[in-house]
A and B are shown apart, each in its own frame.
Chain A
């Protein structure tokens, strides 16, 4: 140690989830507690999204990058050159993120559903949070966040408003198409035929859940409890519909940040 050297306490661990829609950053302190979290739109410049989300997050905590001992990236942009020292596939990140939320509880095997912008992932983890098996949507994004988001954009509603209206639905409408484009034609047909908006939106979410459950069923894992994460888990009407299949639907706090939390947890694990 030379005279004048500054001692930097590198006590922070960051997880960055670079998704198709949003980029999220979670920073843990040395106790593994969330010290900072930020979500920004990914946009077209992934490098920029990644550095922006980290600097915004650290800035909000008044912490410098030097104080971060390790960073783990996950999500579609995980190979981003700036931070690609440790990479974690997002399915593992989700498993770790859910396990982190469970600290202090009795460890049990879990069925997890994560619905993100472009992907629906269903996974089974053992009591230690190890991934046992998983299934994702195949070549089609029906049943993902974007599927609903597109409709929200077209009809000028926010996602929150769509969910709120769906709770007021009084009559069951049917939407059969799984295609994110043709579903628009079906919705228009229903609206033109006099179906109420709330009934149509409820049908849209029902259509989405049917698609999602066909993925979950592939895991062949009977359970009464579902852990639900990803951006769509913030939608209370989707949660309500999932109760038709599960007695208990657990939505962790910061559920849309689960992947980033898992990455931060992994960053801390790798650093120690």
Chain B
């Protein structure tokens, strides 16, 4: 295994304290009458934010409040072990106490298994109400689908207003769009700073920075990301790189982000594993990587209907998710990243439990090879690095890394 530079960025380290403080922040917010909206994926958070609510990913809630063990096996008579890690690790929030008094579960119906289990679980917990499920069309290109999605977002808006008692105004939404774009621009800058031989921030750290938006208060999060970008810029100028000079530059991708988050801020282990095998992870595309933050929400002057702008963004610009067919936007963004960041390989991971994600892998691999000439390594994982067949995975990733290095050489031995 390759020794990767361990000198973590100070600004990244500071996320640890922010994470610790978040528990009390949420309890105080709830005690003062604020509403917390928990979700799993794809929720247009800025609509919730415009209603005065705070958004926290369920996975984050589980960790912030210290529930490190999934209770899925206690709840289901059998079959719990077959679900993906994301489902397992978000299952059961609220059954164990303490938790904030005012909490609602809102989710987007991307993964059917996730939606089903969340609904089953929370129907037994009347204090939280029936979970709000935002339906998203499985195909987004039809006019009818677009109308439906627009209506669904209005339903979400009404739900948020009803629960927070605050009106979602156009002004608040426009401000939210602006803030969201600031975040996207910062994250994109972090990606672009990794172009070239000097990679001043590790991929595992970048994923971790990106993921903090799912549980930290958004304005605080953005301020911290600004500090990270500043520090990374300085490192870039000084020529400080986190990887060995000959480490091949790869894109790490997974159609769905599934890494369990075990109650502390640490470099994401699936990406760290690739780094330990000698890869320089110079870009990521999980459900929240280049596919998401390389696409801004359109900022229109005096936007008469920001809800329509947001609806259009989610359905037609981003949604890099395999539940949708066709799912070409994710592929296009990855191709763009490979070309723009001069990447040498792609490591495509998908969870063993998610056959929807696995179904796209071959098509993705072929398209990437055709468009960029870059090879892809496909890895099927359990999702929890502690339970992986590390020996076999290591052999494959190391072989891939060696292959990428060999491709640079003139063809000889």
Point out residues on A near B: beta carbons under 8 Å: 76, 79, 88-92, 118-119, 126, 128-136, 138-139, 218, 220, 269
Chain A residue with the shortest CB-CB distance to B369: A133
Is A118 in contact with B406, judged by CB distance below 8 angstroms? no
**Are A92 and B402 touching (Cβ within 8 A)?**
yes
Residue of B nearest to A96 (CB): B413
- Among the listed A118, A128, A132, which residue makes an inter-chain contact with B392, where contact means beta carbons less than 8 Å apart? A118
When C-beta atoms are compared, the residue in chain B nearest to A128 turns out to be B411
B80 lies within 8 A of chain A by Cβ: no
Residues of B with C-beta under 8 A to A92: 399, 402-403, 406
Do the beta carbons of A139 and B380 come within 8 Å of each other? yes
Residues A218 and B395 in contact in the complex (CB < 8 Å), given A92-B403, A130-B411: no
B406 CB contact (under 8 Å) in A79, A130, A138, A139:
A130
Q: Which of A129, A130, A218 contacts B362 (CB 8 A)?
A: A218
The B383-400 residues at the A interface (CB cut-off 8 A) are 389, 391-392, 395-396, 398-400
User: Bound state CA distance, A138 and B375, in angstroms?
Assistant: 18
Whole-angstrom distance between the alpha carbons of A88 and B401 in the complex?
11
Give the distance in Å from the alpha carbon of A79 to the alpha carbon of B402 in the complex. Answer: 16
Can you name 6 extra interface pairs (CB under 8 A) apart from A91-B396, A130-B411, A218-B362?
A131-B403, A132-B375, A133-B403, A134-B396, A134-B399, A136-B392
| A89 and B395 contacting across the interface, CB-CB below 8 Å | yes
Is A133 within 8 A of B375, CB to CB?
Answer: yes
Inter-chain contacts of B78 with A (CB < 8 A): none
- Known contacts A76-B391, A119-B392, A138-B380: A128-B412 contact under CB 8 Å: yes
Tell me which residues from 283 to 314 in chain B have a Cβ below 8 Å from any Cβ of chain A.
Answer: none
Main secondary structure of the interface of B (DSSP, over half): helix
Q: Are A139 and B375 in contact (CB under 8 A)?
A: no
Give CA–CA (A2, B400) in the complex, Å: 48
Interface residues of B in 1-36 (CB under 8 A from A): 1
| Cβ-closest chain A residue relative to B366 | A220
Question: Which chain A residues lie closer than 8 Å to B413 at the CB level?
Answer: 128-129, 269
B402 x A89 contact (CB < 8 A): yes
Cα distance A139–B352 in the bound complex, in angstroms: 8
- Is B136 part of the contact surface with A, judged by Cβ < 8 Å? no
- The answer to whether A89 and B398 touch across the interface, beta carbons within 8 angstroms, is yes
Instruction: Note all chain B residues with C-beta closer than 8 A to A91.
Output: 395-396, 399, 403
Once the chains are docked, how many angstroms separate the CA of A201 from the CA of B191?
Answer: 55
**Contacting residue for B395 out of A76, A128, A130, CB 8 A:** A76
Whether A90 contacts B395 in the complex (CB less than 8 A), given A130-B406, A138-B380, A139-B382, comes out as yes
The 4 A-B residue pairs with the shortest CB-CB distance in the complex, in nearest-first order: A91-B399, A89-B399, A89-B398, A138-B380
CA distance A136 to B382 in the complex (A): 16
Q: How far is the CA of A134 from the CA of B382 in the complex (A)?
A: 21
Whether B406 lies near A131 (C-beta < 8 A) is yes
A131 to B401, CA, bound (A): 11
